[in-house]
Amino acid sequence: MAFLKRSPWMIHYDGSSCNGCDIEVLACLTPVYDVERFGIVNTGNPKHADIFLLTGAVNEQNREVVRNIYDQMPEPKVVVAVGICATSGGIFRECYNILGGADKVLPVDVYVPGCAARPESIIDGVVKALAVLEEKRRALPPRARRGRRAEASAQGGNA
Amino acid sequence: MNRDTVRTVTAIEPLEALAVAQHRRLGGWRLVQMHGTRVDGATEVNYAYALDGALEILRARVPDGTAIPSITGIYFAAFHYENELQDLFGLKVTDLAVDYKGHFYKLKQTTPYRPDLGVEGIGSVEAPRVPMAEDAEPAATPRDAHGRPVPARIAEGITGNRTIVPFGPQHPVLPEPIHLDLVLEDEKVVEAIPSIGFIHRGLEKLVEKRDFVDYVYVAERICGICSFMHGMGYCLAVENTMGIEVPKRADYLRTVLAEMARIHNHTMWLGLVADAFGFESLFMHSWRVREIILDVFEEITGGRVIFSICRIGGLRRDVDERQIDLLMKALDRIEKELEPLVSAFTQEYSVVHRMTGVGVLSKAEAYELGALGPMLRASGWALDTRLLGYAAYDDLRFAPVVETAGDCMARTKVRIRETAQSIGLIRQAVAKLPPGEIAAPVKGTPNGEFMARVEQPRGEAIYYVRGNGTRFLERFRVRTPTFANVPALVKTLQGCQLADVPMLVLTIDPCISCTER
Amino acid sequence: MNVNAFLAAYGVRILSAALYVLLAPLFGGLLAGVDRRITARMQGRKGPPLLQPFYDVAKLFEKRRVSVNKLQNFFVVLFLVFLVFTGALFFAGGDLLLFIFAFTLAALFFISAAYAANSPYSAIGAERELLQMMAYEPMVLLTAVGFYMATGSFQVGDILFAKGPAVASIPALFLGFCYVLTFKFRKSPFDLSTSHHGHQEIVKGITTEFSGSSLALIEIAHWYEATFLIAFVALFFVWGGNPWSVLLGLGVALVVYFLEILIDNTFARVKWQLAIQSAWIVAGTTGFLNLLVLTLVQGGAGWLS
């Protein structure tokens, strides 16, 4: 059964955004937009999260942080790049300290446009991400998440 | 034009900086900011001091390869600026109180203003220690199992009765990344070591690649929360450099939009601080109120957080009767809906228990550490840059909101009262709103320099612009209020309880995006 | 003793415990769903579907397991097993003291699991959980003593058939118990060790390092826990084996739970000092005064027996 779709927990990290997209991500949680209607919870803890919302471009110092958060999330997981900066670097693309969009460091599944991305489009992006999440769940070896042996072999396979 | 006219630029020798700082300190001046500019193969270091309306810039020309003395012994808060000079200009600063050795921002490209220095930069990699009151360095360098030296701060955590809790950069109570290493004894924080630079973009240097008229959009995106005022501050600086007279109506509308931004910021902050002490429903309701003002923003400008309505010479769009009417209704609604929230913040038992007497910053300390905005006013200083009378503030009646307790509760009260003040200011401005043009034509290119000061929701922000007669500015520099408030934060964190850390971080109303640009 | 005699003597008890083991997750999960709905409404939001807690747990089982070490998961399983045992003991009409000891043991396994994870956040969460135990344990023990004083027995089976509702003679203890329930339900102002929403200085505190199926087991354990805590509150109102009194008790317990949600939404999280102080002061005043009065009035245990 596909319960992942009904209970996506997200984690949000501010790459080097101007805050515009960040407060819009937070605004999604509050009464006007209330994403908990869809079972979406902002966990703030990578180990509990299924969806990684990244706002802002990636720079030299935070690439490790972003990578770290992603690695701590258990499979299956998806990455949503929120806003134009996370997509391509946006207006800051030519700044000396910017590496570029989130896809320089992570495999991005969904790009949400906008500067700043509106809460509606962020929610839309998350919903699109759910379909990707479901695909990834199906692709996961069925016993990988249970048995210790299966997990060990899966890790071996990845390496 | 504003009353902020008493401004002087004086050339000094690099070594004179110390004596001058001492003198200004005795005279009660504030160190407003420091910045560097590259001029003809040398670095100009600018020290800006302010006393009431007076603004004084002292300019030292430092030839390459020369070190400058640190003034952190006199103005501790200068350590930020001086570390930044080391990072961006490869300038050596001696006797720096907290020396990040060129790794303040951890840049992709070291010393971006001195590309000739190459990748070496100037320093070692070790992060610094913030010196604390009862602090003693361990005698020998501790080593780990592989014989590598262990940074002193980590070693202490292992050997002593202490735990180190990393706080950030990703942390649920922080909407933005800042990293603090909290050294704990049980639940008591004995030391807090900040490291920043997670969202440094380097947008000041982008001014060399963008037309000065287009750069407003970049300036606005210094921060998505204070976006309007960043755009306005940049415009004020450029307009003053070029001598453009902004139409009265645009001045009034800018004031209205700036105060709307303040309401937006403060209601948002109320929610975040409630979240920090675990009061989720108060967070939700504060943000519900915030949406009311965002709707008006959207109606007037088309954007919720980034507006792009400010332009050099005035505004891009006018406001009609219907929009004014919507704004007035929104203000009434905010006033009404904020009332029960205010009583929860100021009277509810557990909230009062959590905020009263926590994170006290005395009047002397607030000055010493260079605190700004609500942080400063909560410690008893009646300092508000709006009194300088930029935009339409000269025609409006208001007095700075001051509290004296200096604790978290006082800061909350200052922001609550400022929200009410902003509502009042908008009503005054709308009542006097003159008819006419909303933008003056922009002719020619900026040649000269100007330092504009604007009161952001978080405190005074500085916009320095220097043009050379081309369409690309030579230097743009912004000093944001959070940048100046971080030393005060480090001070209040010493000796606090772990449970208070999120609240203390939030009471400076941190805007890391502003800070690191 | 032959099988028939055994069943006659213990049949009802075994049945009741078995029903608990089967149905408690259902009840606990629904309660959590209702809780999230009501909380959302209090915050001006619509809230998730009623069955959301079930979706969450099912989802967690779908995730790949990432654990810091094996010991951690072992402790989590013990935590769940002992919570189920604790509840079964209660529903089988067992001894209240044994119930409390089993309950404490379960909590200790949970704390051990968090310590085993060896991360600063979960370690501080575990420390805080220990502090919370210090805060509520005295009140829980006093309540058991109160039941004995009121009904003359520590056996839940006997208390059910007492002459009158226990709350009649230990009303102050009832209030005190409700006070410490806030700790057990992990509601604000006493959600120090972990919180239902993750916006805390220690992230998710004690549960920070758990993910996937182990987090799901913790969630299910909390459903079991919530169920027998509700039943414990109801026990104050039951007498003479009267089914209507059971319904009354259940009704009161649900009202108490609603008040817990209300309190959760009208208080900030307090610091541990105030949490412990206030819990002990409440235990001291309500507990001792109530027991003292009871002793003076009836001159001994078993007033209602």
SS (H, E, C) B399-420: CCCCCCCCCHHHHHHHHHHHHH
Report the pLDDT averaged over residues A113-122: 88
Report CB contact under 8 Å: B227, A21.
Answer: no
DSSP H or E segment with residue B465: strand B459-468
In terms of average pLDDT, the best of B5-9, B56-60, B259-263, C299-303 is B259-263
Is the Cβ–Cβ distance between B12 and B58 less than 8 Å?
yes
Contacts of A142 (CB under 8 A, 6+ apart): none
Please give the DSSP secondary-structure letter assigned to residue B143. B
The candidate with the shortest Cα–Cα distance to A110, out of A82, A90, A84, A137, is: A82
The minimum CA-CA distance between C270 and chain B, rounded to whole Å, is 7
Residue B461 φ/ψ, nearest 5 degrees: -115, 150
Q: Give the per-residue pLDDT at B423.
A: 92
Rounded to 5°, angle at Cα C29 from C24 and C33? 150
The answer on pLDDT for B141 being more than 60 is no
Beta strands in B136-273 (DSSP E): 163-167, 179-185, 188-195
Q: State the best of C36, C55, C59 to mutate against chain A, taking most chain A CBs within 10 Å.
A: C59
For residue C68, the model assigns a pLDDT of 66
Number of domains in chain C: 1
Q: How many angstroms separate the CA atoms of B439 and B442, rounded?
A: 9
Calpha distance B501→B159 (Å, rounded)? 24
Contacts with A38 from chain C: Cβ below 8 Å: 48
* Residue B44 in tokens: 């100009």
Give the homologous superfamily in CATH for domain B205-506.
Cytochrome-c3 Hydrogenase, chain B (1.10.645.10)
Question: Beta partners for A11?
Answer: A52
Whether residues C36 and A140 touch (CB distance < 8 A) is answered with no
pLDDT of residue C198: 56
Residue (of B311, B288, B182, B147) closest to B238 by Cα position: B311
How far apart, in whole angstroms, are the C-alpha atoms of residue C273 and residue B450? 53
Q: Give B16: exposed, middle or buried? Use CB within 10 Å, 0-12, 13-18, 19+.
A: middle
Task: Compare CB distances from C197 to B280, B288, B349 and report the shortest one's residue.
Answer: B280
Residue B124 pLDDT more than 50?
A: no
Query: What integer pLDDT is reported at residue C251 of this predicted model?
Result: 92
Return phi, psi of residue A40, to 5°: -80, 130
Instruction: Give the Cβ contact number of residue B228 at 10 Å.
Output: 27
Contact A39 C49 (CB under 8 A): yes
Percent of chain B past pLDDT 70, that is, above it, reads 86
Answer whether residue C189 shows pLDDT above 90. no
Are the C-beta atoms of residues B189 and B494 closer than 8 Å to each other?
Answer: yes
Name which residue leads in pLDDT, C249 or B176. C249
Kindly tell me if the per-residue pLDDT of B389 is higher than 90: no
Residue C47 placed within a domain = yes
Q: Does C122 touch chain B (CB under 8 A)?
A: no
Query: What average pLDDT is seen over chain C?
Result: 84
- Among the residues of chain C, which ranges form H helices? 3-42, 52-62, 70-91, 96-117, 120-151, 156-160, 166-169, 171-184, 212-235, 243-264, 272-282, 289-298
Residues B488-505 have a mean pLDDT of 81
Task: Return d(Cα B413, Cα B407) in angstroms, integer.
Answer: 10
What value does the mean pLDDT of chain B take? 79
- B287 at the A interface (CB within 8 A)? yes
Asked if the structure places residue C251 within a domain, the reply is: yes
Of A63-77, B13-27, B228-242, give the range with the top mean pLDDT. B228-242
CA distance B233 to B215: 12
Which among A20, A62, A98 has CB closest to B198? Answer: A62
Residue C216 clears pLDDT 70, i.e. is over it: yes
Provide mean pLDDT across the span C60-78: 80
Whole-number Å distance between alpha carbons of A125 and A153? 33
Q: Quick one: which of B88, B72, B81 has its CA closest to B121?
A: B88
- Quick check: A32 and B109 CB within 8 A? no
Place of tokens 């957080």: B305
Q: How confident is the model at residue B422 (pLDDT cuts 50, 70, 90)?
A: very high
Q: How much is the pLDDT for C275?
A: 84
pLDDT of residue B64: 79
Find the residue in A nearest to C202 (Cα): A45
User: What percent of chain C is modeled with pLDDT above 90?
Assistant: 10
Helix (H) or strand (E) holding B94: strand B93-94
Average pLDDT for residues C85-108, to the nearest whole number?
89
Residue of higher predicted confidence among C274 and C29: C29
Residue C283: the pLDDT is 85
Poorest-pLDDT segment among B120-134, C75-89, C209-223, C239-253? B120-134
Domain containing residue A147: CATH number? 3.40.50.12280
Q: How many CA atoms lie within 13 A of C81 on its CB side?
A: 7
Residue C45 in contact with partner chain B when CB distance is under 8 A: yes
Does residue B164 contact residue B185 with C-beta atoms inside 8 Å?
Answer: no
Q: Which of B105, B198, B305 sits opposite A20 (nearest CB)?
A: B305
In angstroms, what separates the C-alpha of C205 from chain B's closest C-alpha? Answer: 12
Among B248, B284, B254, B293, CA closest to B423: B293
Take residue A101 and report the two structure tokens written for it: 């969009």
Q: What pLDDT band is residue B426 in, cutting at 50, 70 and 90?
A: very high
What does the pLDDT average to over A116-136? 88
- As a whole number, mean pLDDT of residues C124-140 equals 86
* A34-43, C1-10, C121-130: least confident range: C1-10
User: In what order do the strands lie in the sheet containing A9-14?
Assistant: A41-42, A9-14, A51-55, A78-82, A110-112
- Inform me whether the C-beta atom of residue A75 falls under 8 Å from chain C C-beta atoms: yes
In CATH terms, the fold of domain B7-117 is Beta Polymerase; domain 2 (3.30.460)
pLDDT at C241: 77
Q: Is residue C1 part of a domain?
A: no
pLDDT bin (cut points 50, 70, 90) of residue C195 is: low
Instruction: State mean pLDDT over B41-58.
Output: 82
pLDDT band at A18 (very low <50, low <70, confident <90, very high): confident
> Given pLDDT bands bounded at 50, 70 and 90, which one contains residue B416?
very high
Is B5's pLDDT higher than 60?
A: no
Residues in chain A with CB shorter than 8 Å from the CB of C197 are: 41
Say yes or no for a CB contact (<8 Å) between A115 and B221: yes
User: CB of B511 within 8 Å of any CB in chain A?
Assistant: yes
C267 touching B (Cβ < 8 Å): yes
**Phi/psi zone of residue B130: left (φ > 0), alpha (ψ -120 to 50 degrees), beta?**
beta
| Per-residue pLDDT at B451 exceeds 80 | yes
| Mean pLDDT of the region A29-48 | 84
Please give the tally of structural domains in chain A.
Answer: 1
Quick check: C94 contacting B, CB < 8 Å?
Answer: no
Specify the pLDDT at position A80.
92
Average pLDDT over residues B314-336: 89
| Other beta carbons within 10 Å of B412 | 25
- The residues of C whose Cβ lies within 8 A of any Cβ of A are 36, 40, 43-49, 52, 55-56, 58-59, 61-66, 197-199, 203-204, 208-213, 215
Q: Chain A within 8 Å of B224 (Cβ-Cβ)?
A: yes
Is pLDDT of B122 > 50? no
**Pairwise CA distance, residues B284 & B391, whole Å:** 34
The answer to which of A31-35, A121-125, A134-138, C250-254 has the lowest mean pLDDT is A134-138
Q: What is the DSSP letter of B131?
A: P
A150–chain B nearest CA distance, Å: 31
Residue-range domain boundaries for chain B:
7-117, 152-195, 205-506
CA angle A27-B479-B65, nearest 5°? 135
- Which residue does chain C place closest to B498, by CA atoms? C201
* Residues composing chain B: 517
Q: How far apart are CA C6 and CA B472, in angstroms?
A: 95
How would you classify residue B42: left for phi > 0, otherwise alpha for psi between -120 and 50, otherwise beta?
beta
**Which is more confident, B153 or B257?**
B257
Could you give the C-alpha distances from B217 to A69, A115, B72, B201, in angstroms and in order? 31, 11, 35, 15
pLDDT tens-digit profile of B233-271? 899 888 888 888 888 888 899 999 999 999 999 998 898
pLDDT of B158: 47
Contact C204 A36 (CB under 8 A): no
Q: What's the rounded mean pLDDT across residues B292-312?
A: 88
Nearest by Cα to C62 from C219, C206, C196, C211:
C211
Q: φ, ψ for residue A34 (rounded to 5)? A: 40, 75
pLDDT: is C230 or B65 the higher one?
A: C230
Q: Is residue C163 part of a domain?
A: yes
Q: Which residues of B touch C125 (CB under 8 A)?
A: none
Measured in angstroms, the CA of A96 and the nearest CA of chain C are apart by: 33
Neighbours of chain A (3+ CB pairs under 8 A): B, C
Inter-chain residue contact C44 with B274, CB threshold 8 Å: no
Give the strand pairing for B42-51 and B30-39: antiparallel
Interface of B with A in 313-352 (CB under 8 A): none
Question: Residue A91: which of B105, B221, B284 has the nearest Cβ?
Answer: B221
Find the CB nearest A6 among C36, C55, C199.
C55
Cross-chain residue pair A34–C56, CB shorter than 8 Å? no
Residues in contact with B179: Cβ distance below 8 Å, sequence separation at least 6, in sequence order? B166, B167, B168, B169, B194, B195, B196, B198
Inter-chain contact B513–A19, Cβ cutoff 8 Å? yes
CA angle C244–C249–C250, rounded 5-degree value: 100
User: Contact A32/B288, CB-based, under 8 Å?
Assistant: yes
Residues of A with CB below 8 A from C209's CB? 47
User: For position B485, what pLDDT does the model report?
Assistant: 84
Phi and psi dihedrals of B61, rounded to 5?
-95, 115
DSSP symbol at A102: G
Query: Who contacts C238 (Cβ-Cβ below 8 Å, separation ≥6)?
Result: C159, C160, C165, C166, C245, C246, C248, C249
Chain A CB contacts of B285 under 8 Å are 31
Separation CA B184–CA B179 (nearest Å): 15
Q: At a CB cut-off of 8 Å and minimum separation 6, what does C8 contact? A: none
For residue B225, the chain A residues in CB contact (below 8 A) are: 19-20, 23
Per-residue pLDDT of A85-110, as tens digits, reads: 888 888 888 887 788 888 888 889 89
Instruction: Write down the pLDDT at residue B516.
Output: 72
Q: What is the mean pLDDT of residues C200-204?
A: 65
**CB C50, CB C30: distance < 8 Å:** yes
Stretch C26-47: mean pLDDT, rounded?
Answer: 89
Non-local CB neighbours of B171 within 8 Å, separated by 6+ positions:
A44, C203
Measure Cα distances from B496 to B117, B189, B353, B491, C205 in Å: 42, 5, 15, 10, 19
Reported confidence tier of residue A154, pLDDT bands at 50, 70, 90: very low
Contact assessment for residue B333 and residue B341, using Cβ atoms and an 8 Å cutoff: no
Distance from CA of A110 to the nearest CA of B (A): 21
